[in-house]
Chain A
Amino acid sequence: MADKTRADLMQELAGLQDRLQQERSAIEVQRKAQAVVEDRVAELEESLAETRRENDLLRRSSRSMLRHGHRSEQEASRREDICNLYRDCGSDLQLRLTREGKIKAPSPAALDLLGYRPEELEGRRLEDYLESEQQVAFRHFLRALEDTPGIRQMDVRWRRKDKRWTEATLFAKASPHPQTKENEAVVLVRRRDVQVLWDPGTAANRELASFLAHELNQPLTAIAALADALLRGRATGLLEEKDQAEGLADIARQAHRGAEMIRRLRGLAAHETLHLARVVPADLVRGGVDQLRPYLQDGEVRVDIDLPPHAPSFPGDPLLLEQVLTNLLRNAAEAMACLPVRDRRIEITGRVENDRFRLSVRDRGPGISPEREATLFRPYRTTKPGGLGLGLALCRIIVEAHRGKLTYRPAEDRGAVFTLDLPTVTQHEHHHPSERLSGR
């Protein structure tokens, strides 16, 4: 039994050893599998973290992109505002203004316009440079700016460094600072052509002044001579009853004429400078024709208007230009008073070419005689009974103040053509506005 036992035991041992080996292998496999799983888990975890990170990054970047997109939208609208400001107003100098009215970032043009280098103006209060009586008005202007979305404008006298004054117009629009969001305004400063209307340097004005001195004398001369004549006639008995009555009537007429002349000139003198704004051709024509209505009541006059559909606006004094047009239309209507109603026709034609806007008024009246043509625009020349002869002379002054021309030519077949020829670009618009804007 011992041998059997020993052999049995040996066999049993080998079996046990095999099992142990198997168990060990199994454990090994299990361990390996565990490691693989663990690796996988770690891997997954890592990828999850990665994804989270990416996610986060994406979220953050998308948020930033959103924010960024919003900001550039704001920036675009601000830029557009400024562009509009430029287009509508033009400028010689641009700056920003804090809500306290301090100057920020003035453009280099300050030197030219005001004699100050830009850095000299930086942080200074704008109102300190204005005439004292304008300072309160300026503060109101500044306050009103915050409440109004549009462009506001104000005429100012700005003291230059050399103590002289620059007449300027401020065009301003509220526009929060892009980064700090502080309330600020974009301000364009444009030199105003002062006294252009009455600039004694222009030929038309010299002529007017000279004629004023000379021709206001005319009614006075007549009155004085007539009164002298009547007095002398009483003494000498050489004037008949008829002469005396006529003399008195003439004295009255001349006195009224002189008074009317003074009244008109005073009215015009109130208009010392051009108040420049954008003149829209269609509005100008409509305004002029509307003004004419009262004069048309007596007789029908047909008014035909031919304007290009999208005639661009141009800088000018809308009120004064309308007066010019009204004057021309009234002359045209009066020139046709003797025609049968069906023949009374005024043609208004507008044309835009090469930075000029030309507006013609044509009537069907008898036209201007060649002798009259030479003195047509001279003051106090009139063919109208009761007229003062100021109309065309003043029209010419107004048009020339706009650096334009007012001309006459006879119409091809019949009638008179008066043409307003106006520049559509201001003198100071040498540079294209957008160039200046991109320079900032």
Chain B
Amino acid sequence: MNITTRPSVCLVDDEQSIRNAFRLLLKSAGIPLVSFPSAQDFLSEFDAEGVGCIILDVRLPGMTGLELQEVLHQRKIQIPIIILTGHADVPLAVQAVKAGAFDVIQKPIKDELLLDRIHKAFAVYAESKRLEAQNQDILERIDTLTPREKQVMELMVSGKKNKDIAQALGISPKTLDIHRSKVMGKMKARTVADLVRWRLQVRDVVPAFTA
């Protein structure tokens, strides 16, 4: 990740002084900041491009930080969300984390802690983006398989022996060998372990192909 693609932080806080303080704080750490005074402004103007972390004040006029978090969730925005709370509001923090918040930070903030969490959020988001790209890749490769090859892959991944697979599909071991090498080749897997890992990685997106 070089400096030109450095992710930015997006802050929603109705307090102008806080927005300004965050701007300087993040600027001093070399992190760009986009800020909005309300959930409405944020929702109408927000562009997820390049944003690596969203910070929401828990109390916002009109819509609370938690409600906004829910809206973002519905919009399938995966960017990690840090919730700012004013005082030790444990139930609120728990609720936020349960609802998928990346972290909850209490005001007044400790700058080291805040920057650390922002960097962690960046890393987590980058990793999730990397995984997502990889998933996309895997899905595309799975798409190239014929229905028969998909059946073969499912049985291989489930750890069945060649003999049993051939029997289950009612094909000869030789034919199975051809299917196997096609699957390994199309999936660009060097070992069966690769295949298992990738298959598991997308199990939520692609249900098991029935044998």
Residues of A at the B interface (CB closer than 8 Å) are 213-215, 217-226, 228-230, 232-233, 236, 238-239, 243, 246-247, 250, 253-254, 371-372, 374-375, 381
Contact check: which of B20, B59, B86 meets A222 at CB < 8 Å? B20
**Bound CA span A218–B20, Å:** 12
Contact check: which of B24, B30, B59, B107 meets A243 at CB < 8 Å? B24
Chain B: CB-nearest residue to A239: B28
Chain B: CB-nearest residue to A254: B17
Q: Shortest CB–CB separation between residue B6 and chain A, in angstroms? A: 12
The contact size tier of chain B is 20 to 34
A214 to B87, Cβ gap below 8 A? yes
User: Does chain A have a CB within 8 A of B111?
Assistant: yes
Contacts A214-B87, A222-B15, A236-B29 known; list 16 others, CB within 8 Å.
A218-B107, A222-B17, A222-B20, A223-B108, A225-B22, A225-B24, A225-B108, A225-B111, A226-B24, A228-B111, A229-B21, A229-B24, A230-B28, A239-B28, A246-B20, A247-B21
A374 to B86, Cβ gap below 8 A? no
Q: List which B48-78 residues lie within 8 A (CB) of chain A.
A: 59, 61-62
User: Does chain A have a CB within 8 A of B109?
Assistant: yes
- 4 closest A-B pairs by beta carbon, nearest first, are A214-B86, A228-B111, A225-B21, A233-B28
A246 to B17, Cβ gap below 8 A? no
B109 to A221, Cβ gap below 8 A? yes
**Residues of B with C-beta under 8 A to A243:** 24, 27
Contact check: which of B18, B25, B30, B87 meets A228 at CB < 8 Å? B25
Q: Shortest CB–CB separation between residue A6 and chain B, in angstroms? A: 163
B21 to A250, Cβ gap below 8 A? yes
B28 to A232, Cβ gap below 8 A? yes
Chain B: CB-nearest residue to A210: B87
**Residues of A with C-beta under 8 A to B24:** 225-226, 229-230, 233, 239, 243, 246-247
**Bound CA span A243–B18, Å:** 15
**Residues of A with C-beta under 8 A to B15:** 218, 222
**Bound CA span A223–B87, Å:** 16
Chain B: CB-nearest residue to A224: B108
Q: Shortest CB–CB separation between residue A207 and chain B, in angstroms? A: 11
Q: Shortest CB–CB separation between residue B29 and chain A, in angstroms? A: 6
**Residues of B with C-beta under 8 A to A239:** 24, 27-28
**Per-residue A-contact encoding for B93-134, CB less than 8 Å = 1, 0 else:** 000000000000001110100000000000000000000000
Chain B: CB-nearest residue to A257: B17
Interchain residue pairs with CB less than 8 A apart (13): A213-B87, A218-B17, A218-B86, A220-B108, A221-B21, A222-B20, A224-B109, A230-B24, A230-B28, A233-B28, A250-B21, A372-B61, A374-B61
